Amino acid sequence: MPTASRRFRSEREGEWRKLEELLNRVEKKSVAALSDAELLALPTLYRGALSSLSVARETSLDLELITYLEDLCTRAYFFVYGVRTSAGSRIAAFFARDWPLAVHSLLKETAVAVLFTIVGVLAGYLLVSGDPAWYDSFVPADLAGGRDFGATTEYLRGTLYHDDGADGLSVFATFLFTHNSQVALLCFALGFAFGVPTAMLLVHNGAMLGAIFALFVTHGLGSELGGWLIIHGSTEFFAIIIAGAAGFRIGWSVVFPGDETRMAAAAAAGRSAALAMTGVVVMLMTAGLLEGFGRQLIILDSLRYAIGILMLMLWLAYFYRPKPVSR
């Protein structure tokens, strides 16, 4: 080791080792492992190490010493200036504040997503009610699984309850859930294309729902189908609408970037929309549990409606209740 480097190290190494020892204790245990005096000393030791690193770089001291100081200063920086929260605290903050605020910020886009969905439902219902030949255009054959205008009322009723149609019901419900999950992800992922694919997906998904309702209403089973769907659909379709709103937020930021570049505006919109989409996954998982257990175990229509409406009210209260003013 050169004489200059050796002298430089000997003069300051005591402070570096002290800083390293404090960081090791914090990283292995927690901040509580340090005394008040050590907490106050740590920023001073960090600034001293940073000064040493600057001198070492300017005077071209040996590379090993510079590398050591860079690593030490990086560790100290994240302790002094970084946000130190546990995984549990971050998860709690996500559910308590970040997710509902992200969804609340998409209120206008959510209203537009609801509008496109309603347009699709009405279009599918009216077209199929007027001409059953439209049904196959909206409902894929693998999803229909025999639930078409050639089916009897008894067969269709059986697919809604636990009798001979129970196995087919499970297949139909699983396919519908998978389909809706894919729609939700695509609504968000394709939003960058000015929101046009998102709008088309919402309309098509609504039209499929409207077509299915037209089929069951024709057989006098509209309210029964509503109960079968709402117990999980109030959560599942709400998740799709939020995903569509997130996609619209990104698409509109590309069309109307304001003072920023289109890429910068899309990136900024994507950060808030991604928070909402993370929650959409939670909603889809909740819908899956409601579909897998609640709908299978509960066959009373009134109770199905009660649970579905209650879930919708809970989601609305969670996302849109008045928020406390930050101070």
Per residue in 90-131, pLDDT (tens digit) is: 788 899 999 999 999 999 999 999 999 999 999 999 999 999
1, 14, 264, 321 from 107: Cα distances, Å? 65, 57, 22, 12
Instruction: Report whether pLDDT(295) > 80.
Output: no
Q: How confident is the model at residue 325 (pLDDT cuts 50, 70, 90)?
A: very low
Tens of pLDDT, residues 49-92: 988 888 888 876 678 888 888 899 988 888 777 655 666 777 88
Question: What is the Cα–Cα distance from 174 to 189, expressed in whole angstroms?
Answer: 23
Question: What is the Cα–Cα distance from 250 to 54, expressed in whole angstroms?
Answer: 43
User: What is the pTM assigned to this prediction?
Assistant: 0.72
Going by C-beta distance under 8 Å and a sequence separation of 6 or more, which residues neighbour residue 91?
none
Q: Which among 71, 73, 67 is positioned nearest to 47, based on CA atoms?
A: 73
Q: Where are the domains of the chain?
A: 3-84, 91-320
- Mean pLDDT lowest among 71-85, 105-119, 178-192, 294-308: 71-85
Most confident of 15-29, 189-203, 257-271: 189-203
Is 261 buried (19+), middle (13-18) or exposed (0-12) by CB count in 10 A? exposed
Rounded-to-10 torsion of CA 28, 33, 36, 41: -30
